[in-house]
Amino acid sequence: MIVLKNMKLIIVLLLSCIAFQTIHAQNWDINTLKKINPQYPTNNTWRTISSTAEPLAVAVPLGMAAVALITDNHKLEMNAYETAGGLIITAAVTESLKIINNRPRPYETYPNDIHPDSYESGKSFPSAHTSLAFSTATSLMLTTKKWYIAVPAYAWATSVAYSRMYLGQHYPTDVIAGVFVGAGSAYLAHWLNKKYFSKKKK
């Protein structure tokens, strides 16, 4: 029930974010991004952090599955499947929203104001890097229930989200939506695992 309530809250917040981005947020979005994105985004720290989103998102469930196989740990194996499931849902929802919203990158709309570190393909809303990072962090929080894993995981995910704005790749609302998509997907995968898979294996 708690997971379902959290999922409903995340869905409401995501829809609110989409509405806000579509109707009211453009001035706030671009003004906030201008303050974060420097004229020359050459800080390699943020580039490095940004580049870790996809590799770490893939490495976490693979690592969990490998350890589970070696140690014959069924619970860890299910956690690996759950984490991977959350990432699959995240990727599907993120790409669907990109197609539906069809939002250009901020440097395409504001070429004189936003200075990207590179010119990437794909649409802007929501941020895929952010959604993958928060899906991974939320899955780790839900499956391990250990603060010393959850806190660093969320710190990393938050850093990824900030890096996407620093590098001029995404508006703040892109990043906020990515947080909700990633966390919501992880909660959905957790709920599906508990409802349909965990009980059958007991």
CATH number, domain with residue 152 = 1.20.144
Nearest to 167 by CA among 30, 40, 41: 41
Burial class (CB in 10 A: 0-12, 13-18, 19+), 132: buried
CB 143 within 8 A of CB 76: no
Task: State the pLDDT at residue 194.
Answer: 85
Which pLDDT band holds residue 12 (cuts at 50, 70, 90)? low
pLDDT tens, position by position, 138-184: 999 999 999 999 999 999 999 999 999 999 999 999 999 999 999 99
In the predicted model, is pLDDT for residue 202 greater than 50? no
What is the amino acid identity at position 133?
A
pLDDT tens, position by position, 62-91: 999 999 999 999 999 999 999 999 999 999
Distance CA 138, CA 187 (A): 8
Place of tokens 């962090």: 137
Phi-psi region of 62 (alpha: psi -120 to 50; beta: other; left: phi over 0): alpha
CB 168 within 8 A of CB 41: yes
| Mean of pLDDT over the chain | 88
Helix (H) or strand (E) holding 112, with range, is: none
Could you list the residue range(s) of the whole structural domain that residue 119 is in? 2-201
| Count: domains in the chain | 1
